[in-house]
Amino acid sequence: MAIKSTADKVATIQQGYTLDGPTIELGAAIVDGELHKDAKVRLPLAMMNRHGLVAGATGTGKTVTLHMMAEQLSAAGVPVFLADIKGDLSGLATAATGSEKLLARTASIDQPWSGRVFPVEFLALGGDGHGIPVRATITSFGPILLSRIMELNDTQESSLQLIFHFADKNNLELIDLKDLRAVIQFLTSDEGKEKLKELGGLSKATAGVILRELITLEAQGMEKFFGEPEFNTAELLRTTADGHGIVSCLELPTLQTKPLLFSTFLMWLLADLFEDLPEVGDLDKPKLVFFLDEAHLLFKDASRAFLDAITTTVRLIRSKGVGIFFVTQTPKDVPGDVLGQLANRIQHALRAFTPDDAKALKATVSTFPISDYDLAETLTTAGIGEAVITVMNERGAPTPVALTRMRAPESAMGPSEDALIASIVAASGLLPAYGTAVDNVSAFEKLGKGPAAGDGGAGNSGTVRDSGRSASHDAGSRDVVDPGSVDAEARRIEEEILGRPSRRSAPAPSPAPAPSTGRAAPAPRQPRPDSNAAGDVDGVLGGVFGGGLKSMARSLGTQLGRELLRGVFGTSSRRRRRR
């Protein structure tokens, strides 16, 4: 194979990054040790919903790359979500000052530069920080994500799903941790033991383990992250009056003490968007670009169902106009099924000090297309603010690999002043809606645990009956289960969850008609035109519910259509939970 000249290598990069539509400018290529400012490296704006990976060792410039990309996305009218772990990204609200060193760098890559301010909305989980409080209700967070925080095993996770199902069915609103604790305490009490028995797949011992883990969460101060008013993730899609995308900057000041909570909470934000946004196909620019920092925390020791749910979300949310960029140290931190969905790669330098580092380096090199670079050497010798890049061009093909000197941000590369952040938060239009926590009547009160127990619901006695079943029917049929009815109910639940006709065999006709409940079963929804998407969701939900579907049907009895439908992560979307 003939050795290409430097001029030929530069020409390859120039041709590969000549794009027609709007782009995010990333920098200029370095070829054979020389910077070529006429060889621009860029990313098509329309391809940013094909997702991406920003990786590299600590201190190599990943955060500055996020900062620079967020600026350009905002200027192009695309809202951005950033998790601010070190506090540096708050500098987006402060114009940068041009130093001699900075201006020399921008001139070297032919970057027009001036200090600028960008519209930033500061958020904080549960008010743990200086931003607008972001809370989620327990019911919308769902059993799978909550199991992840509580580090439950597969059996315990399935049991928690049954507890959520019981609460959904009985109109016991799970708003905060004390609501879920009250439901579990009821099911494990003498008063609730018959209901526990009806749930089938839930043992008292397992419920007790979940209750202890829940109390541990409360002891760690995590109750403030759950409650109302719940944050509406549609707030992440806003633009300013002059058409700039708002950068939502979520402050994570105590990440090191609660890493699993924060990474899982970020996944809830994404899952909630996934459930609410309509299908839009390919757009000229994405509706939102979502940067998930410290992505390895999402996948470490994750269950198969959780990983399948992430894979499905990443695969399907592209058609809803949302791009996701995972930010971590090496590609091996991301499972292969997810990594295969990330078409845009920005790889900062890696270090190969140990045998494990050497393996990671080899794995990283294998994820790039064949190129004119010796990538093993390039990735270990790249300087701070340099990265190896390949992205998807407008035709859907990978661009040539290019070692790139990255552009500099135009806002401050460091935290903004506390007084400025406080003034932005105080002036935010979101503060009146989310600034003050509220405690409405929910499962805790309805089960007789709180002062509002007499206001309705189950009442002070704590007795919970299935809606749509009379007491006499309950007493007469509690221990009798008709297999045909169970199978029919399993079919109905599958159809409601998956939104298409069930693939289960129809049950044989029963010799005697079942007693009428006075309600008609809801007709199955028609299959969606995107059969691949339906298949993906089917696969995930199969893993989530597994053989417990009949147990859930058994616990439902003859009540039809009152339980909340839950999404890929077991989350409940806003539209469905507020019927």
**Read out DSSP for 378-410?**
HHHHPPTTEEEEE-B-TTS-BPPPEEEEEPPPS
Instruction: Work out the average pLDDT over 384-400.
Output: 95
User: Any alpha helices (H) in 76-203, and if so which ranges?
Assistant: 100-108, 138-141, 143-150, 154-169, 177-187, 193-198
Give the pLDDT score at 565. Answer: 63
pTM, 2 dp: 0.79
Same domain, 14 and 100: yes
In which domain, by residue range, is 198 found? 138-226
Least confident range from 18-27, 336-345, 364-373, 538-547: namely 538-547
> Do the domain assignments include residue 549?
no
> Do the domain assignments include residue 530?
no
Domain end among 386, 404, 434: 434
> Do the domain assignments include residue 129?
yes
Give the pLDDT score at 220. Answer: 80
Same domain, 253 and 348: yes
Helix (H, G, I), strand (E, B) or coil at 411: strand
Instruction: Work out the average pLDDT over 137-152.
Output: 90
> Do the domain assignments include residue 492?
no
Q: Per mean pLDDT, which of 82-96, 345-359, 383-397 is the most reliable? A: 383-397
> Do the domain assignments include residue 342?
yes
pLDDT 10s digits, 527-537: 433 434 444 44
Least confident range from 75-89, 109-123, 504-518: namely 504-518
Helix (H, G, I), strand (E, B) or coil at 35: strand
> Do the domain assignments include residue 557?
no
Q: What angle do CA 249, 253, 255 make, to 5 degrees?
A: 105
Same domain, 107 and 63: yes
Residue with tokens 């058409």: 243
Answer for the pair 485, 220: CB distance below 8 angstroms, yes or no. no
Same domain, 324 and 402: yes
Same domain, 59 and 97: yes
Same domain, 125 and 158: no
Answer for the pair 162, 551: CB distance below 8 angstroms, yes or no. yes
Q: How far is CA 177 from CA 174, 442, 448, 454, in A?
A: 8, 11, 16, 21
Instruction: Work out the average pLDDT over 231-251.
Output: 95
Give the pLDDT score at 368. Answer: 92
Instruction: Work out the average pLDDT over 86-94.
Output: 89
Please determine, for residue 407, whether its predicted confidence score (pLDDT) is greater than 90.
yes
Helix (H, G, I), strand (E, B) or coil at 228: strand
Residue with tokens 């410290």: 294
Please determine, for residue 38, whether its predicted confidence score (pLDDT) is greater than 70.
yes
Total domains in the chain come to 2
> Do the domain assignments include residue 491?
no
Least confident range from 413-417, 444-448, 461-465: namely 461-465
Instruction: Work out the average pLDDT over 569-579.
Output: 58
> Do the domain assignments include residue 575?
no
Same domain, 422 and 276: yes
Query: Side by side, which strands form the sheet with 288-292?
Result: 34-44, 23-31, 402-406, 386-390, 344-348, 52-55, 322-328, 288-292, 80-84, 247-251, 120-125, 132-134
Domain end among 367, 402, 434: 434
Domain end among 226, 253, 272: 226
Q: How confident is the model at residue 255 (pLDDT cuts 50, 70, 90)?
A: low
Angle between helix 483-498 and 549-556 (nearest 10): 110
Same domain, 107 and 241: yes
Same domain, 20 and 103: yes
Please determine, for residue 340, whether its predicted confidence score (pLDDT) is greater than 50.
yes
- How is 275-314 classified by DSSP, letter by letter? HHSPP--S-SS-SEEEEESSTHHHHTT--HHHHHHHHHHH
Q: How confident is the model at residue 562 (pLDDT cuts 50, 70, 90)?
A: very low
CATH number of the domain encompassing residue 66: 3.40.50.300
Same domain, 244 and 209: no
Same domain, 117 and 241: yes
Average pLDDT in the chain: 81
